[in-house]
């Protein structure tokens, strides 16, 4: 699915662009503001979409000094599924967080990086995950099964593939010492799902002795 | 069942044999490179991926007369899983190491290379058995 614009997966046309803008705020927006925030489609096309959505009651049009202010009708029966679809990035994050919690042995750290973490992922983007296990799991069949199962889950939930890098804490620190460019992405753009952030794992060499690892 | 549509291409036994031979060659080269550590680990894992993919193609052609025709290695593993779940799993083990080689020069370790070469060897053996 389009991970940065989930409604687009359901409604590829201009409707999703307009609805995404309206779903982000409870305040009324002018057609000009909607056009600027939507970033795609012509003004005429957006006006047609707004008129149709008003006709269906999903968008309210309130007369203003010049033209109308439009807002999503949050009491409309379609508003709830619409908002759920618009916020499905949060649902994906929540499911990944839950899935990270049940990995065994419990990892020291799980985070997302790359385009999904930066909010720029599209329909063909992978979801990139960094996992720092508490023990060396390189040759652990049960661990490999869990990661494959998680990847299958992500593909089923989203249609996007999960790509994961599994690094021991020593491996993570070695990558930082070797100035691997990807470490900057882990430090700057990642979303931590479990455990301390990468910055803490790299700074605090005694962090493992003070961590309370869930389920252990 | 995956939500992705797997694009395939029809092929016959001559192509299966060709893919099996290519798989063997990739694995041979991977074994040669595997005596070196450092950046060569990435090269060995990369060659193991190619060996596994080619072996998987040979196995799929022999079984269903088709091979995966896209560029998504995970999808190739998925098609192989439909033919033989255990072999598909082996290919996924190797393909799962790809991000480590894409994102840096020092992220893969000797253990990763061992796993990749072992899985690639299993796949090439299976291809040899099924595609004489």
Q: Report whether pLDDT(B6) > 90.
A: no
Q: Report whether pLDDT(B122) > 90.
A: yes
Domain harbouring A28, CATH code = 1.10.10.10
Q: Report whether pLDDT(A208) > 70.
A: no
Same domain, A25 and A125: no
Nearest to B104 among A148, A155, A175 (CB): A175
pTM of the model: 0.87
Q: Report whether pLDDT(B87) > 50.
A: yes
Give tens-digit pLDDT for A72-113: 999 999 999 999 999 999 999 999 999 999 999 999 999 999
Mean pLDDT of A4-21: 91
Mean pLDDT of A2-15: 90
The domain covering B10-130 belongs, at the CATH homologous superfamily level, to Nucleotidyltransferases  domain 2 (1.20.120.330)
Mean pLDDT of A153-158: 95
Q: In this structure, is residue A34 part of a structural domain? A: yes
Of residues B54, B53, B73, the one with CA closest to residue B6: B73
Same domain, A101 and A182: yes
If you write DSSP's letter for every residue of B34-51 in order, what string do you get?
A: TT--TTHHHHHHHHHHHH
Domain harbouring A123, CATH code = 3.30.460.10
Q: What is the pLDDT of residue A206?
A: 57
Same domain, A200 and A110: yes
Q: Does A10 touch chain B (CB under 8 A)?
A: no
Kindly determine whether residue A165 and residue B103, on different chains, have CB atoms separated by under 8 Å: yes
Q: In this structure, is residue A2 part of a structural domain? A: no
Q: Does A184 touch chain B (CB under 8 A)?
A: no
What residue segments make up the domains of chain B, in order of their start? 10-130
Closest Cα in chain A, distance from residue B71 (Å):
12
Tokens of B8: 């395939």
Site from A116, A156, A165 to mutate, B interface, most B CB atoms within 10 angstroms? A165
Tokens of B50: 């190619």
The interface pTM score, or ipTM, of the predicted complex is 0.86
Q: Are the CB atoms for B78 and B93 separated by under 8 Å? A: no
Q: What is the pLDDT of residue B102?
A: 86
With contacts defined as CB-CB under 8 Å, which chain A residues touch B103?
Answer: 165, 180, 182
Q: Does A170 touch chain B (CB under 8 A)?
A: no
Same domain, A193 and A99: yes
Q: Across all residues in chain B, what is the average pLDDT?
A: 94
Q: What is the pLDDT of residue A203?
A: 85
Same domain, A159 and A201: yes
Q: Are the CB atoms for B56 and B73 separated by under 8 Å? A: no
Q: Report whether pLDDT(A204) > 80.
A: no
Nearest-angstrom CA–CA distance, A170 and A149? 26
Q: Is there a cis peptide before residue A105, judged by omega within 30 degrees of 0?
A: yes
Identify the DSSP state of A166. E
Give tens-digit pLDDT for A30-69: 999 999 999 888 888 999 999 999 999 999 999 998 889 9
- Which of A56, A85, A114 is a domain's end point? A85
Q: What is the pLDDT of residue B2?
A: 66
With contacts defined as CB-CB under 8 Å, which chain A residues touch B87?
Answer: none
Query: A3-17, A80-94, A135-149, A202-216: lowest mean pLDDT where?
Result: A202-216
Q: Which domain holds residue A50?
A: 7-85
Q: Does A65 touch chain B (CB under 8 A)?
A: no
Exposed, middle or buried, A112 (CB in 10 Å: 0-12/13-18/19+)? buried
Mean pLDDT of B34-41: 91
Same domain, A78 and A93: no
Mean pLDDT of B78-103: 94
Give tens-digit pLDDT for A109-155: 999 999 999 998 888 899 999 999 998 888 888 999 999 999 999 99
Same domain, A196 and A140: yes
Tell which A residues from 45 to 64 touch B, by Cβ distance under 8 Å. none
Nearest to A138 among B72, B104, B111 (CB): B111
Closest Cα in chain A, distance from residue B111 (Å):
6
> How many domains, in total, are found in chain A?
2
In this structure, the number of other CB atoms found within 10 A of the CB of residue A145 comes to 11
Q: In this structure, is residue A216 part of a structural domain? A: no
Kindly determine whether residue B99 and residue A178, on different chains, have CB atoms separated by under 8 Å: no
Q: Are the CB atoms for A167 and A138 separated by under 8 Å? A: no
In this structure, the number of other CB atoms found within 10 A of the CB of residue A133 comes to 21
Nearest-angstrom CA–CA distance, A193 and A188? 15
Residues whose CB is less than 8 angstroms from the CB of residue B11 and which lie 6 or more positions away in sequence, other chains included: B57, B61, B65, B66, B67
Q: Report whether pLDDT(A214) > 70.
A: no
Same domain, A96 and A202: yes
Same domain, A201 and A98: yes
Same domain, A102 and A204: yes
Mean pLDDT of B63-77: 93
Helix (H, G, I), strand (E, B) or coil at A97: helix
Mean pLDDT of A155-177: 94
What percent of chain B shows pLDDT beyond 90? Answer: 86
Same domain, A165 and A105: yes
Q: What is the pLDDT of residue A4?
A: 86
Q: What is the pLDDT of residue A215?
A: 44
Could you tell me which residues are beta bridge partners of residue A128?
A: A113, A163
Q: Which chain A residue is nearest to residue B106, measuring alpha carbons?
A: A175
Kindly determine whether residue B99 and residue A128, on different chains, have CB atoms separated by under 8 Å: yes
Q: What is the pLDDT of residue A212?
A: 47
Nearest-angstrom CA–CA distance, A157 and A164? 17
Of residues B66, B51, B61, the one with CA closest to residue B97: B51
């Amino acid at each position: 699915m389009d991970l940065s614009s989930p409604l687009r997966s359901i409604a590829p046309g201009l409707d999703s662009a307009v609805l995404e803008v309206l779903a982000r705020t409870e305040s009324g927006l002018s057609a000009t503001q909607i056009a600027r925030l939507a970033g795609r489609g012509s003004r005429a096309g957006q006006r047609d979409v707004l008129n149709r959505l008003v006709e269906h009651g999903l968008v309210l049009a309130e007369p203003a000094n010049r033209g109308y202010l439009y807002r999503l009708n949050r009491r409309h029966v379609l508003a709830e599924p619409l908002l759920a679809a618009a916020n499905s990035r949060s649902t994906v994050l929540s499911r990944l967080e839950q899935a990270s919690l049940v990995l065994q042995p419990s990892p020291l750290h799980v985070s997302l990086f790359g385009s999904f973490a930066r909010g720029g992922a599209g329909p063909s983007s992978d979801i990139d995950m960094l996992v720092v296990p508490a023990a060396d799991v390189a040759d652990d069949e049960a661990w490999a099964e869990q990661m494959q199962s998680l990847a299958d889950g992500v593909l089923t939930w989203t249609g996007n593939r999960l790509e994961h890098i599994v690094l021991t804490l020593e491996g993570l620190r070695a990558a930082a010492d070797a100035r691997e460019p990807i470490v900057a992405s882990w430090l700057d753009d990642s979303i931590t799902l479990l455990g301390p952030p990468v910055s803490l794992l790299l700074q605090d060499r005694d962090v493992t002795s003070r961590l309370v690892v869930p389920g252990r | 069942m995956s939500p992705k549509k797997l694009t395939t291409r029809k092929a016959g036994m001559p192509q299966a044999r060709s893919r099996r031979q290519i798989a063997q060659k990739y694995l041979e080269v991977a074994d040669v490179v595997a005596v070196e550590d450092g950046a060569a680990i990435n090269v060995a894992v990369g060659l193991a991926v190619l060996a596994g993919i080619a072996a998987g193609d040979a196995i799929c052609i022999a079984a269903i007369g088709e091979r995966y025709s896209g560029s998504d290695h995970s999808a190739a593993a998925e098609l192989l899983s439909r033919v033989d779940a255990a072999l598909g799993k082996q290919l996924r083990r190797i393909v799962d190491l790809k991000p480590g080689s894409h994102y840096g020069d020092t992220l893969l370790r000797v253990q990763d290379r061992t796993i990749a070469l072992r899985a690639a060897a299993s796949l090439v053996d299976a291809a040899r058995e099924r595609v004489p």
